[in-house]
Amino acid sequence: MKKRPYILSIAGFDPSGGAGLVADCKTFEALKCQGLSVCTANTIQTDTDFFDCVWTDDALLKKQLEVLLNRFSIKVIKIGIIKNWTLLNEVLNTILSFDSTIKVVLDPVLTSSTNFNFQTDFNEVVFNEVLSKIYLLTPNYNEIQQLFPEKEITETMKHISSKTNLFLKGGHNEAEKGKDYLYTSNGKVHPINPKYEVFPKHGSGCVLSSAIAGQLALGFSLLKSCFRGKRFTEKYLASSSGLLGNYRF
Protein backbone atom coordinates (compact mmCIF):
# COMPACT_ATOMS: atom_id res chain seq x y z
CA MET A 1 0.00 0.00 0.00
CA LYS A 2 1.37 3.41 -1.00
CA LYS A 3 2.26 5.61 1.95
CA ARG A 4 0.28 8.83 2.14
CA PRO A 5 2.26 12.07 2.40
CA TYR A 6 1.82 14.08 5.58
CA ILE A 7 0.33 17.54 5.16
CA LEU A 8 -0.50 20.10 7.83
CA SER A 9 -3.35 22.58 8.15
CA ILE A 10 -2.85 25.56 10.46
CA ALA A 11 -6.33 27.05 10.68
CA GLY A 12 -9.39 27.73 12.79
CA PHE A 13 -11.98 25.22 13.97
CA ASP A 14 -15.39 25.61 12.31
CA PRO A 15 -18.05 23.51 14.11
CA SER A 16 -20.11 23.28 10.90
CA GLY A 17 -17.18 21.51 9.23
CA GLY A 18 -17.48 23.52 6.04
CA ALA A 19 -14.39 25.67 6.52
CA GLY A 20 -11.13 25.81 8.43
CA LEU A 21 -9.09 22.86 9.57
CA VAL A 22 -12.01 20.39 9.44
CA ALA A 23 -12.62 21.17 5.76
CA ASP A 24 -8.88 21.11 5.09
CA CYS A 25 -8.41 17.67 6.64
CA LYS A 26 -11.47 16.26 4.86
CA THR A 27 -9.96 17.54 1.61
CA PHE A 28 -6.57 16.01 2.42
CA GLU A 29 -8.23 12.68 3.17
CA ALA A 30 -10.17 12.73 -0.11
CA LEU A 31 -6.89 13.33 -1.95
CA LYS A 32 -5.22 10.41 -0.14
CA CYS A 33 -2.96 12.55 2.01
CA GLN A 34 -2.47 12.14 5.78
CA GLY A 35 -3.85 15.34 7.29
CA LEU A 36 -2.49 16.92 10.49
CA SER A 37 -3.82 20.07 12.13
CA VAL A 38 -2.92 22.98 14.39
CA CYS A 39 -5.89 24.94 15.75
CA THR A 40 -5.46 28.72 15.60
CA ALA A 41 -8.94 29.63 16.86
CA ASN A 42 -12.26 28.27 18.03
CA THR A 43 -15.03 29.88 16.03
CA ILE A 44 -18.72 29.92 16.79
CA GLN A 45 -20.45 29.67 13.43
CA THR A 46 -22.73 27.70 11.17
CA ASP A 47 -22.84 27.54 7.39
CA THR A 48 -24.95 30.73 7.38
CA ASP A 49 -23.98 32.76 10.48
CA PHE A 50 -20.78 33.80 12.27
CA PHE A 51 -20.99 34.70 15.96
CA ASP A 52 -17.54 34.81 17.52
CA CYS A 53 -13.86 33.90 17.25
CA VAL A 54 -11.74 32.90 20.26
CA TRP A 55 -8.05 32.91 19.34
CA THR A 56 -5.71 30.16 20.53
CA ASP A 57 -2.99 31.32 22.92
CA ASP A 58 0.20 32.11 20.96
CA ALA A 59 2.41 29.77 23.00
CA LEU A 60 -0.09 26.92 22.72
CA LEU A 61 -0.34 27.37 18.96
CA LYS A 62 3.43 27.25 18.58
CA LYS A 63 3.70 24.19 20.85
CA GLN A 64 1.14 22.33 18.73
CA LEU A 65 3.19 23.18 15.65
CA GLU A 66 6.55 22.23 17.11
CA VAL A 67 5.52 18.76 18.30
CA LEU A 68 4.11 17.93 14.86
CA LEU A 69 7.19 19.21 13.03
CA ASN A 70 9.38 17.14 15.37
CA ARG A 71 7.34 13.98 14.85
CA PHE A 72 6.37 13.98 11.17
CA SER A 73 8.06 14.63 7.84
CA ILE A 74 5.92 17.47 6.49
CA LYS A 75 6.69 19.02 3.10
CA VAL A 76 3.56 21.14 2.55
CA ILE A 77 1.61 23.31 5.01
CA LYS A 78 -1.64 25.16 4.36
CA ILE A 79 -2.37 28.18 6.57
CA GLY A 80 -5.77 29.81 7.07
CA ILE A 81 -6.78 32.28 9.78
CA ILE A 82 -4.17 33.46 12.29
CA LYS A 83 -4.68 36.23 14.85
CA ASN A 84 -2.41 38.79 13.19
CA TRP A 85 0.34 39.18 10.61
CA THR A 86 3.09 39.42 13.23
CA LEU A 87 2.14 36.05 14.72
CA LEU A 88 1.89 34.57 11.22
CA ASN A 89 5.43 35.78 10.52
CA GLU A 90 6.64 34.12 13.73
CA VAL A 91 4.88 30.87 12.77
CA LEU A 92 6.60 30.95 9.37
CA ASN A 93 9.96 31.47 11.06
CA THR A 94 9.32 28.40 13.22
CA ILE A 95 8.35 26.32 10.18
CA LEU A 96 11.35 27.34 8.09
CA SER A 97 13.76 26.86 11.00
CA PHE A 98 12.72 23.19 11.03
CA ASP A 99 12.92 22.77 7.26
CA SER A 100 13.55 25.60 4.83
CA THR A 101 12.18 23.51 1.92
CA ILE A 102 8.62 23.27 3.31
CA LYS A 103 6.11 24.77 0.87
CA VAL A 104 3.57 27.01 2.60
CA VAL A 105 0.25 27.76 0.93
CA LEU A 106 -1.32 30.80 2.58
CA ASP A 107 -5.02 31.50 2.21
CA PRO A 108 -5.30 35.08 3.49
CA VAL A 109 -8.75 34.90 5.10
CA LEU A 110 -9.47 38.52 6.01
CA THR A 111 -13.21 38.31 6.57
CA SER A 112 -15.72 35.49 6.82
CA SER A 113 -18.43 35.02 4.22
CA THR A 114 -20.76 36.62 6.78
CA ASN A 115 -18.44 39.65 7.09
CA PHE A 116 -16.67 38.90 10.38
CA ASN A 117 -13.33 40.74 10.25
CA PHE A 118 -10.39 38.48 11.18
CA GLN A 119 -7.57 40.95 10.44
CA THR A 120 -7.45 44.58 11.58
CA ASP A 121 -3.71 45.27 11.89
CA PHE A 122 -2.41 45.13 8.31
CA ASN A 123 1.27 46.09 8.22
CA GLU A 124 2.84 46.28 4.78
CA VAL A 125 6.38 45.69 6.02
CA VAL A 126 5.41 42.51 7.90
CA PHE A 127 3.20 41.39 5.02
CA ASN A 128 6.11 41.67 2.59
CA GLU A 129 8.21 39.56 4.96
CA VAL A 130 5.43 36.96 4.99
CA LEU A 131 5.31 36.91 1.18
CA SER A 132 9.05 36.20 1.00
CA LYS A 133 8.61 33.08 3.19
CA ILE A 134 5.64 31.37 1.53
CA TYR A 135 5.32 29.35 -1.66
CA LEU A 136 1.83 30.37 -2.76
CA LEU A 137 -0.76 33.01 -1.81
CA THR A 138 -4.39 32.19 -2.66
CA PRO A 139 -6.63 35.26 -2.25
CA ASN A 140 -9.96 35.87 -3.95
CA TYR A 141 -10.75 39.16 -5.68
CA ASN A 142 -12.27 40.73 -2.57
CA GLU A 143 -9.26 39.80 -0.44
CA ILE A 144 -6.61 41.02 -2.86
CA GLN A 145 -8.35 44.40 -3.04
CA GLN A 146 -8.47 44.59 0.76
CA LEU A 147 -4.73 43.96 1.07
CA PHE A 148 -3.76 47.14 -0.79
CA PRO A 149 -6.93 49.22 -1.20
CA GLU A 150 -4.92 52.22 -2.42
CA LYS A 151 -3.45 50.26 -5.34
CA GLU A 152 -5.01 49.13 -8.60
CA ILE A 153 -5.59 45.38 -8.56
CA THR A 154 -3.09 44.85 -11.39
CA GLU A 155 -0.46 46.75 -9.39
CA THR A 156 -1.16 44.59 -6.33
CA MET A 157 -0.87 41.39 -8.36
CA LYS A 158 2.42 42.53 -9.83
CA HIS A 159 3.77 43.40 -6.38
CA ILE A 160 2.78 40.06 -4.82
CA SER A 161 3.97 37.92 -7.73
CA SER A 162 7.36 39.65 -7.60
CA LYS A 163 7.82 38.02 -4.18
CA THR A 164 5.94 34.71 -4.38
CA ASN A 165 3.53 32.70 -6.52
CA LEU A 166 -0.04 34.02 -6.60
CA PHE A 167 -3.19 32.03 -7.29
CA LEU A 168 -6.06 34.50 -7.71
CA LYS A 169 -9.42 32.82 -7.15
CA GLY A 170 -12.12 34.05 -9.50
CA GLY A 171 -15.31 33.18 -7.66
CA HIS A 172 -15.91 36.83 -6.74
CA ASN A 173 -14.85 38.27 -10.10
CA GLU A 174 -18.08 39.26 -11.81
CA ALA A 175 -16.27 40.04 -15.08
CA GLU A 176 -14.85 36.50 -15.38
CA LYS A 177 -16.89 34.43 -12.93
CA GLY A 178 -15.04 31.32 -11.80
CA LYS A 179 -11.92 31.94 -13.90
CA ASP A 180 -8.75 31.67 -11.81
CA TYR A 181 -5.25 32.87 -12.60
CA LEU A 182 -1.87 31.59 -11.51
CA TYR A 183 0.82 34.27 -11.49
CA THR A 184 4.21 32.67 -10.98
CA SER A 185 7.15 34.44 -9.40
CA ASN A 186 9.08 34.06 -12.68
CA GLY A 187 6.59 36.33 -14.45
CA LYS A 188 4.32 33.81 -16.17
CA VAL A 189 0.51 33.97 -16.12
CA HIS A 190 -1.68 30.88 -16.45
CA PRO A 191 -5.47 31.27 -16.74
CA ILE A 192 -7.47 28.30 -15.42
CA ASN A 193 -10.99 28.25 -16.81
CA PRO A 194 -14.02 26.80 -15.03
CA LYS A 195 -15.40 23.51 -16.33
CA TYR A 196 -18.38 22.50 -14.18
CA GLU A 197 -21.58 24.20 -13.09
CA VAL A 198 -21.27 24.77 -9.36
CA PHE A 199 -23.27 25.93 -6.32
CA PRO A 200 -21.98 28.40 -3.70
CA LYS A 201 -20.52 26.73 -0.61
CA HIS A 202 -19.51 27.84 2.86
CA GLY A 203 -15.72 27.43 3.03
CA SER A 204 -15.14 26.99 -0.70
CA GLY A 205 -11.95 29.05 -0.51
CA CYS A 206 -10.56 26.78 2.22
CA VAL A 207 -11.30 23.70 0.13
CA LEU A 208 -9.64 25.11 -2.98
CA SER A 209 -6.48 26.20 -1.15
CA SER A 210 -6.18 22.90 0.72
CA ALA A 211 -6.84 20.97 -2.51
CA ILE A 212 -3.93 22.78 -4.19
CA ALA A 213 -1.75 22.12 -1.14
CA GLY A 214 -2.74 18.46 -1.21
CA GLN A 215 -1.75 18.13 -4.85
CA LEU A 216 1.62 19.71 -4.06
CA ALA A 217 2.10 17.16 -1.27
CA LEU A 218 1.38 14.40 -3.78
CA GLY A 219 4.29 15.65 -5.87
CA PHE A 220 2.61 17.54 -8.69
CA SER A 221 4.07 20.73 -10.13
CA LEU A 222 2.64 24.10 -9.10
CA LEU A 223 0.66 24.58 -12.31
CA LYS A 224 -0.69 21.03 -12.31
CA SER A 225 -1.53 21.29 -8.60
CA CYS A 226 -3.54 24.45 -9.23
CA PHE A 227 -5.36 22.88 -12.17
CA ARG A 228 -6.12 19.64 -10.33
CA GLY A 229 -7.07 21.52 -7.17
CA LYS A 230 -9.56 23.63 -9.08
CA ARG A 231 -11.18 20.61 -10.75
CA PHE A 232 -11.45 18.83 -7.38
CA THR A 233 -13.08 21.92 -5.85
CA GLU A 234 -15.53 22.32 -8.71
CA LYS A 235 -16.71 18.75 -8.17
CA TYR A 236 -17.07 19.47 -4.45
CA LEU A 237 -19.08 22.63 -5.19
CA ALA A 238 -21.31 20.69 -7.59
CA SER A 239 -21.88 17.86 -5.09
CA SER A 240 -25.01 19.44 -3.56
CA SER A 241 -27.17 22.52 -3.90
CA GLY A 242 -26.78 23.41 -0.20
CA LEU A 243 -24.06 25.42 1.53
CA LEU A 244 -22.26 22.31 2.78
CA GLY A 245 -20.85 19.96 0.16
CA ASN A 246 -19.71 16.37 0.29
CA TYR A 247 -16.69 14.47 -0.96
CA ARG A 248 -18.43 11.49 -2.54
CA PHE A 249 -17.99 12.30 -6.20
What pLDDT digit, counting tens, does each position of 85-105 carry? 999 999 999 999 999 999 999
With beta carbons less than 8 A apart as the criterion, state whether 226 and 167 touch. yes
Residue 160 has pLDDT above 80, yes or no: yes
Residue 1 has pLDDT above 80, yes or no: no
pLDDT digits (tens, 9 = 90+) for 7-30: 999 999 999 999 999 999 999 999
Residue 55 has pLDDT above 70, yes or no: yes
Strands (E) across 14-146 are located at 34-45, 50-55, 74-79, 103-106, 136-137
With beta carbons less than 8 A apart as the criterion, state whether 50 and 112 touch. yes
Question: At a CB cut-off of 8 Å and minimum separation 6, what does 248 contact?
Answer: 239
- Backbone φ and ψ for 7, nearest 5 degrees, come out as -145, 140
pLDDT score of 142: 83
Q: How much is the mean pLDDT over the chain?
A: 92
pLDDT digits (tens, 9 = 90+) for 189-202: 999 998 888 999 99
Of 1-5, 62-66, 121-125, 191-195, which range is least confident?
121-125
pTM above 0.85, yes or no: yes
Percent helix, strand and coil across the chain, each to the nearest 5: 40, 20, 40
Residue 136 has pLDDT above 90, yes or no: yes
CA distance 146 to 153: 10
Residue 234 exposed, middle or buried by CB count within 10 Å (0-12, 13-18, 19+): buried
pLDDT digits (tens, 9 = 90+) for 70-81: 999 999 999 999
